C-alpha cells in the first residue's frame, strides 16, 4: 500500500506538460492555477539524448498526471473501505440466516476482508 500522507502539501490543482517545441531542453510541468506567480512544478531534462522520444514525453505526462492519480487512489481506497464495511454487514446477516453453510464462500469473503487498504 502506498503511504499517501507523504504527498501532503504538494502543489494543488491539475498539472500540464509544456513541451516548448522550439527548445530541446527543458520540458516543463506547470500547475493550472492562474493565480500563481510561478506555476512551475518541474523541469525535465534528458540524460543522454539529443531529442525527446515519445517515451520521454509519456514519462512527462505521467508526472503531470500525479495529482490526478493521487486523487483517484484516495477515492478508490475510500470506496474499498465502504465496500468492505458493507460486505462485513452482509456476512453478519448471512451468518444469522444460514450458519455453517457454504464454507468456500466464507473463505473467499475472509480473504477479501483481510486485504490491506
Tens digits of pLDDT across the chain (117 residues): 788 999 998 887 788 887 665 555 557 788 877 776 767 888 887 666 677 778 888 888 899 999 999 999 999 999 998 998 888 888 777 777 776 666 667 777 777 777 765
Give the phi and the psi of residue 15 in degrees, each rounded to 5.
-115, 155
- The residue ranges of DSSP E strands in the chain, in sequence order, are 15-18, 27-31, 40-44
Q: What is the pLDDT of residue 75?
A: 95
Q: What is the pLDDT of residue 104?
A: 67
- Put residue 100 in one of left, alpha, beta given phi > 0 → left and psi -120 to 50 → alpha: left
Structural domains of the chain, count: 2
Residue 80 in domain: yes
Alpha helices in 1-117 (DSSP H): 54-64, 66-97, 103-114
Q: Which domain holds residue 85?
A: 74-114
Whether 34 and 79 map to the same domain: the answer is: no
Whether 60 and 86 map to the same domain: the answer is: no
Residue 46 neighbours by CB distance under 10 Å: 14
Residue 69 in domain: no
Whether 58 and 95 map to the same domain: the answer is: no
Whether 53 and 86 map to the same domain: the answer is: no
- What distance in Å separates the CA atoms of residue 55 and residue 99, rounded to the nearest whole number? 56
Three cell numbers at 1? 500500500
Q: What is the pLDDT of residue 89?
A: 84
Whether 81 and 58 map to the same domain: the answer is: no
Whether 23 and 54 map to the same domain: the answer is: yes
Q: What is the pLDDT of residue 65?
A: 92
| Cis peptide leading into residue 26 (ω within 30°) | yes
Q: What is the pLDDT of residue 95?
A: 73
Amino acid at each position: 500500500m502506498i503511504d499517501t500522507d507523504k504527498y501532503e502539501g504538494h502543489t494543488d490543482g491539475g498539472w500540464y506538460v509544456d513541451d516548448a517545441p522550439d527548445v530541446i531542453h527543458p520540458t516543463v510541468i506547470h500547475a493550472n492555477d492562474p493565480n500563481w506567480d510561478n506555476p512551475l512544478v518541474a523541469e525535465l531534462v534528458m540524460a543522454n539524448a539529443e531529442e525527446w522520444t515519445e517515451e520521454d514525453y509519456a514519462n512527462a505526462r505521467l508526472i503531470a498526471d500525479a495529482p490526478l492519480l493521487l486523487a483517484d487512489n484516495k477515492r478508490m481506497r475510500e470506496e474499498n473501505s465502504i465496500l468492505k464495511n458493507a460486505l462485513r454487514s452482509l456476512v453478519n446477516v448471512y451468518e444469522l440466516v444460514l450458519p455453517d453453510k457454504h464454507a468456500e464462500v466464507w473463505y473467499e469473503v475472509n480473504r477479501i476482508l483481510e486485504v490491506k487498504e
